[in-house]
């Protein structure tokens, strides 16, 4: 087998390995967030209310975390939704690490730019 063909086979194995890691991260993220949302729904059904007066709900991350710590159903559901939103962002972050490990610096740069854009859009979405 030629040296070039062996290098191509090695890089294909790295790509497959990276796809498996990313796939597992996405699956785990969706399952964990789904479990947290389900827990919030069960708490809501058991308590009969959201844990907050009238139409008030936590609107900040700190409020959501405090409410989740107190097991307020609405906050637990919102925390699950927050985890669901973070799942693809985490995927991009892990993809950066995979590309660094593969020494594919072009894709490290591109993926880092995408990651920065995601973070900025999350921050601007909060401010706007």
Contacts of 79 (CB under 8 A, 6+ apart): 36, 40, 64, 65, 67, 68
Max distance between CA atoms of the chain, in angstroms, equals 72
Determine the average pLDDT of the residues in 58-67. Answer: 88
Cα 3 from Cα 42, distance rounded (Å): 58
* Helix or strand run (H / E) with residue 35: helix 3-47
pLDDT, tens only, 113-128: 999 999 888 888 765 4
pLDDT at 117: 93
Determine the average pLDDT of the residues in 11-16. Answer: 66
pLDDT at 6: 52
pLDDT, tens only, 83-116: 998 898 988 998 898 888 888 899 999 999 999 9
**pLDDT band of 14, cuts 50, 70, 90:** low
């Amino acid at each position: 087998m030629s040296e070039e063909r062996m290098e191509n086979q090695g890089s294909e194995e790295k790509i497959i390995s990276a796809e498996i890691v990313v796939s597992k991260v996405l699956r785990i993220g969706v399952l964990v967030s789904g479990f947290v949302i389900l827990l919030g729904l069960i708490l809501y059904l058991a308590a009969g209310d959201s844990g907050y007066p009238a139409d008030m709900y936590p609107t900040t991350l700190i409020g959501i975390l405090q409410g989740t710590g107190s097991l307020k159903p609405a906050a637990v559901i919102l925390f699950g939704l927050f985890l669901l939103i973070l799942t693809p962002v985490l995927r991009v972050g892990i993809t950066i690490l995979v590309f660094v490990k593969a020494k594919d610096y072009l894709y490290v740069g591109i993926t880092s730019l995408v990651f920065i854009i995601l973070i900025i859009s999350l921050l601007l979405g909060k401010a706007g």
